[in-house]
Amino acid sequence: MVFRRRDRRSVLRATSDFVYPRGGWTRAALYVKHRVRRLPDTPERIARGIGAGVFTTFTPFYGMHFIVAAIVAKLCRGNILAALMGTFFGNPLTYVPIGLISLKMGHFILGTNFDDRAHRSFGGKFVDAADDLKDNFFALFTERTADWHGLSVFYHEVFFPYLIGGLLPGIVAGLVASYLSLPLIRAYKKRRKGAIKAKFEAIKKKAAAQHDPRGQGVE
């Protein structure tokens, strides 16, 4: 597998690396950039894949961004692995501004207002929605009555506005990422192709020199 680790991480270590990777976010970004450049595909498909991944980070499908990115990349004929790497644009440092932009844009388009203090806080709405899913799942096997109030509030005040509001900034960010990455990927692949060609020519010259008959029977 391409992304399989040799050393298995504990849940605590994986969570810690997600919040702050070992070596810092700068090193993590350089690693992703290096892997993207070396993908075996055309620069155009790789750039479209990156754009698809960046767009996906503006959707409210947390925990499913890899799946959504792969689908979007497939639809726009982009590289799927590049799309998965493009989702790293969304991280603990960027999710807050991405969420605020998407929510404000969504409520503006829908003509509604998001009051973080109404009913429950923004984070509380996430908690209520998760509790509803958990409680109503267990209600299937017990006599407990299902209650979808928390999930309903979350859908109308957070999820749907987020989904609508994230489309425009997501498309803009995805197009910008694709546009900026395309010439960089082209230049890297051209330089890499030239380096491989030069290395191959050097090997040919060395092999020819080893089999050069000059000096054998020549006055």
Burial status of residue 159 (CB atoms within 10 A of its CB: 0-12, 13-18, 19 or more): middle
| Whole-angstrom distance, CA of residue 97 vs CA of residue 29 | 19
Which residue has tokens 């790789």? 46
Residue 111: how many other CB atoms lie within 10 Å: 6
Tens place of pLDDT per residue across the chain (219 aa): 444 555 565 544 544 444 445 555 455 556 566 666 667 788 899 999 999 999 999 999 988 899 999 999 999 999 998 998 889 888 878 888 898 899 889 999 999 876 655 555 555 666 666 677 777 766 767 777 766 677 777 788 888 999 999 999 999 999 999 999 899 888 887 877 666 666 766 777 777 777 665 545 444
Angle formed at CA 14 by CA 181 and CA 87, multiple of 5 degrees: 20
pTM of the predicted structure, to 2 decimals:
0.69
Which residue has tokens 């998760």? 130
Q: Would you list the domain boundaries of the chain?
A: 11-186
